[in-house]
Structure 1
Amino acid sequence: MTEPPASSELAPLRTLVAQACRVLAARGLADGILGHVSLRIDTHRLLVRCRGPQERGLAFTTDADIRLVDLDGQAGATGELDRGYAPPNELPLHTEVLRARPEVAAVVHAHPPDVVAADLAGLAIRPIVGAFDIPGARLAAGGIPTYPRGVLIRDRRLAADMVAAMGGRPVVLLRAHGLTSTGRGVEQAVLQAISIDRLARLSLRITGAGGTLTDLPPEDLAELPDLGASFTTATAWRHELARLDGVPAQEAGICGVSS
């Protein structure tokens, strides 16, 4: 039997989840105090952004806000939920995804206003762009389902309904609520949410200007290259962290590529 990771071994992962929360806030996907990020640790435990006695919102998340709990939201005698910390009310949103989909390691729940507005306006997230956002175009081309209830997903029954609506897709919109994004890592889950938000915002701008949304032609979609995870995830994530710190791209070690 594998030994559970020591608390010190979890420190870099707590930092990663905390950074993800701040990136979501910096991108406007999680204004205020709503939203959370989780990361699977093993078959029955996860790190999740919890609320503490001095809650200030996702933009001010620290490593101390990232706590280790089991799939039922319990910490046992570990002290992870001492000093007034508590898991989010919508913890089942995370845990039901992790229960149902073993390939998923990270879950992001955010409340992007443009995503909510576009959905309520009847605008589906579609592959309306090409090289402008290649990962986003591919994500949208696969279809973005919607969970049709604008409720707080605070129990396993509602969370199971959301998971069913998501199917095998990595992202699901939540009607009048926000979105849930999943991935094999925190970085992927956050970057997908950013792409969905970008597509929603463009859709609103295009239709607001009197334009019509048109999907990218299949032949153009087929021409979009796979730039690889080292670029689409690793480099993009370094950029998001650099934006948090206000560091110029060249100082962050981010290399450009020719298109």
Structure 2
Amino acid sequence: MTRRLYPDLRQLMSDACRVLAARGLADGILGHVSLRIGSDALLVRCRGPQERGLRHTTADDIHLVDLEGAPAAAGELDGGWTPPNELPLHTEVLRRRPDVNAVVHTHPPAVVAADLAGLAIRPIIGAFDIPGNRLARHGVPVYPRGVLIHDRRLATEMNDALGDKPAVVLRAHGLTTTGETVQEAVLRAISVDTIARLSLDIAKAGGTLTDLPDDDLADLPDLGSSFNHTTAWNHELTRCASDPAPRSGP
């Protein structure tokens, strides 16, 4: 049963987990999503005694903890629930970046494969995905260590690589994206994954990755948050509901 505090936000976060899995960004039991609550707490996707993976997340899998991973309200971790081992990945971003409210960590095969193949996330697309173009144009850095971000020292290293950017690729590991909202952080992860998939396809076909020309970049309109976020999010929820089998592999 969904806990009393923040039921709508818990539902939003469980939706986010299922969207990520349906898109093939979080196969199996890997990946997690968090949302800042006040100055010293966060809602985060936790693991329980009957772990089923992100594709089967419900609001009951979302728990309120403090920045050290302790329960931030009565009963939050009762019954064998534990925050993810990589909780510091989330908490250090929230500590350092006041502009960030939501953090997504996933293991997209295409993103990992593209990075290991030497293919950076670049603005190779235009109207195909305008928010994705803008994200790539500003650069998606790489954290070059394939480690589990299980403590503050490693999370600080990852944050140093992330800097003020919205996303960072974790070499041989996965992807971390950020946003003002859960929806924005998830949609950014999808955009990075889309560019990685296209880059791999182009390379497999013998093509050369080429950034969109400046003239084309200048003519790309900002379609606004209503279209880029609200409409796109509604599509993802509908897609998730109608496509229960997530994709896997690059």
Scaled to the shorter chain, the TM-score interval is over 0.9
> Matches of 1:203 and 1:150 in 2, distance apart?
21
What amino acid is the match of 1:98? L
TM-score, normalization by structure 1? 0.92
Deviations 1:126-147 (A, max 9, x none): 0001000100011100000000
Aligned to 2:99: 103
Q: Structure 1: which 5+ runs fail to align?
A: 1-6, 248-259
Q: Map Cα deviations across residues 57-89 of structure 1 (whole Å, 9 max, x no partner).
A: 000001000000000000166110010100000
State the match for 2:201 in structure 1: 205
Q: CA deviation at 1:8?
A: 3.4
Query: Using a 3 Å threshold, how does the CA distance of structure 1 residues 58 and 118 change in structure 2: closer, same or farther?
Result: same
Task: Give the share of equivalent positions with the same residue, in percent.
Answer: 70
Give the CA deviation at 1:9: 4.7
RMSD over aligned Cα atoms: 1.0
Alpha-carbon offset, residue 155 of structure 1: 0.1
Residue 40 (1) aligns with residue 58 (2): no
Given candidates 155, 158, 164, the residue that maps to 1:159 is 155
Distance, in Å, in 2 between the alignment partners of 1:77 and 1:160 is 27
Structure 2 Cα separation of the partners of residues 242 and 170 of structure 1: 25
Q: Secondary structure at the match of 2:175?
A: strand
- Which residue, out of 144, 147, 150, partners 1:148? 144
Match of 2:240 among 225, 240, 244: 244
Q: Deviations over 1:69-111 (max 9, x none)?
A: 0000001661100101000000000000000001100000000
Which residue of the other structure, out of 74, 81, 86, is the alignment partner of 1:85? 81
In structure 2, the partner of 1:73 is 69
**Aligned ranges 1:109-258 → 2 under 5 Å:** 109-246=105-242
CA displacement at 1:14 relative to structure 2: 0.2
The structural deviation recorded for 1:190 is: 0.2
Distance (Å, rounded) in 2 between the aligned partners of 1:19 and 1:77: 22
Distance 1:209 1:232, change over 3 A: same
- Deviation of 1:38 after TM superposition, in Å, equals 0.2
Segments of structure 2 that go 5 or more residues without pairing to the other structure are: 244-250
Moved >3 Å (runs of 4+):
none
Amino acid at match of 2:189: A
Q: Which has the higher contact order (CA 8 A, sep 6+)?
A: 2
| Number of matched pairs | 241
Counterpart amino acid of residue 143 in structure 1: G
C-alpha change, 1:220 and 1:80, in structure 2 (3 Å) is same
Greater shift in the superposed pair: 150-159 or 68-77: 68-77
Instruction: Name which one, 1 or 2, has greater alpha-carbon Rg.
Output: 1
